Amino acid sequence: MDRFKDKTVIVTGAGSGIGKSTALRLDAEGAKLLVIDINEEELGTTHSMLKNQSSTSHIINIASLNETKKFFKDFQETNKQLDALINVAGILRFDNSHEVEIENWNKILEINLTGTFFMCRYALPLLLESKGAIVNVSSSAAIGAHAWTAAYSASKGGISAFSKTLAVEYGMRGLNINCVCPASIQTPMSTNPKMPKDIDTRLLKKIMPLDGVNRSPDDIASTIAFLASEDAIHINGIDLRVDGGLLT
Ligand SMILES: NC(=O)c1ccc[n+]([C@@H]2O[C@H](COP(=O)([O-])OP(=O)(O)OC[C@H]3O[C@@H](n4cnc5c(N)ncnc54)[C@H](O)[C@@H]3O)[C@@H](O)[C@H]2O)c1
């Protein structure tokens, strides 16, 4: 498939996990990519794996208004058009809700929610010209209940909610804006997470897919590639669960 031949796509969180798999998938389908992360070493590795020699890598903290603004200013000087924005970057931590530190609450909201918004905010004028797509990575935590993730769930619920606002606001002008809601994907984020002490382990059952199998980030990358492509032209403003039936 070469659905992204002659298309320019931005992918955040491309240094690891789902973002990295998405970058590699879009590259395999012909995209020119601008890959973003805060982890320079990991992003360098992803960049070195891309076949398209015109793809570039950018060390950006998506939660920084100045950095995202400058990224898009520079983008306009060196690129003809933007066809899709894929927001994957995010962080997670588990805490008993009555023990959440305000610094951690703010950090999760700033990166996951506000950072995703900053990227959309500055990409929208460019996407209006190309009639492009946005795919935001939300989570099953935005739709179903997860224990110990108050800040994370709030941030993902926010992403799903504001993405629908964007879909309604810009859908009539040709944009497709959707969310993917993954669960149980094997990445550095989900491997051996630090859990709060004294948790009730019965609650862990609530975060298992139906077949009990944790899947590869490639299984989310394929969904993201679909939603960002012309194949999904009639899909707008949805939360697409890719969760192994967890919330069924
Ligand atoms: N792994 C899962 O099971 C799962 C489930 C639901 C949702 N998600 C979501 O998928 C996305 C990717 O998660 P993952 O599992 O691949 O995690 P990951 O930790 O492997 O990758 C996240 C990437 O985001 C980058 N990042 C973090 N903060 C950033 C910032 N401020 N600016 C730029 N880049 C930043 C990290 O450096 C890292 O490379 C996240 O939004 C996560 O919430 C993951």
Matching CATH number, 8-242, of 3.90.550.10, 3.40.50.720, 3.20.20.70, 3.30.230.70: 3.40.50.720
pLDDT at site 18: 98
Beta pairing, strands 84-87 & 56-59 = unpaired
> Using CA of residue 68, residue 132, residue 185, residue 50, what is the dihedral sign?
negative
104, 95 in Cβ contact below 8 A?
A: yes
Instruction: Give the mean pLDDT per block of 10 residues along the chain (248 residues).
Output: 96 99 98 98 98 98 98 96 98 97 98 99 98 98 94 98 98 98 96 92 85 95 98 98 96
pTM: 0.98
pLDDT at site 99: 97
Cα(172) to ligand 1 centroid in Å equals 31
Cα(54) to ligand 1 centroid in Å equals 25
pLDDT at site 231: 98
pLDDT at site 207: 81
Give the C-alpha separation, 125 to 147, whole Å: 38
pLDDT at site 1: 86
233, 176 in Cβ contact below 8 A?
A: yes
Which residues form the pocket of ligand 1, taking CB atoms under 6 Å from any ligand atom? 12-13, 15-19, 36-39, 42, 61-63, 88-92, 111, 115, 137, 139, 182-185, 187-190, 217
Please state at what angle helix 17-28 crosses helix 40-49, rounded to 10 degrees: 20
Q: By alpha-carbon position, which residue is closest to atom 36 of ligand 1?
A: 13
In the structure encoding, which two tokens stand for residue 170, read together?
Answer: 């810009």
Model confidence over 220-232: pLDDT tens digits?
Answer: 999 999 999 999 9
pLDDT at site 204: 84
Cα(197) to ligand 1 centroid in Å equals 24
Point out which residues pair with 242 in neighbouring strands. Answer: 182
Three-state DSSP at 24 gives helix
